[in-house]
Amino acid sequence: MQKGTLEYEHALDAVIEILRARARHGAAPLQYGQLSIQLARLGHDVPPHEGPMPYLLEDASVRESPDGSAPLLSALVVLKDTGWPSSGFFKLARRTPYRRSGDDMELWTREIQKLADHYTGH
């Protein structure tokens, strides 16, 4: 699956819908493997830790918050071993236009709360 193809765009739409639904129901994080399984059920072959997954997660956040004003959907996806997002999430969160501040724990905790508030209408 190549970025910029129709197949990629359909997988990106699916990632966004899965993560939005997760955010609407309390913003509980899910593991990469769980996301990969959900995508497979929808017909998208996306391995959990290679290929297009990191690009799909970044693009999901960028599409939902192009100007940095909305919370980053990719905060919901965590590594099985640590229960934390990958370093790619923190790099994205700290770059322009997002410029999220604080240490990793503070930044991530705040982003999860913002997701829950944003997608449940609070």
- pLDDT tens per residue across span 51-106: 899 999 999 999 999 999 999 999 999 999 999 999 999 999 999 898 999 999 99
Q: Tell whether the model's pLDDT for residue 120 goes beyond 90.
A: no
pTM for this predicted structure: 0.91
The pLDDT value given to residue 122: 60
Chain segment 2-20, per-residue pLDDT in tens? 888 999 999 999 999 999 9
pLDDT at 23 over 90: yes
Residue-level pLDDT at 2: 85
pLDDT value at residue 110: 94
Residue by residue, DSSP assigns the chain as --TTSHHHHHHHHHHHHHHHHHHHTT---EEHHHHHHHHHHTT----TTSTTHHHHHHHHHHHH-TTS-S--GGGGEE-TTTSS--HHHHHHHHSTTT---S-HHHHHHHHHHHHHHHHHT-
The predicted-structure confidence for 79-92, as pLDDT tens digits, reads as follows 999 999 999 999 99
Please give the pLDDT value at position 95. 92
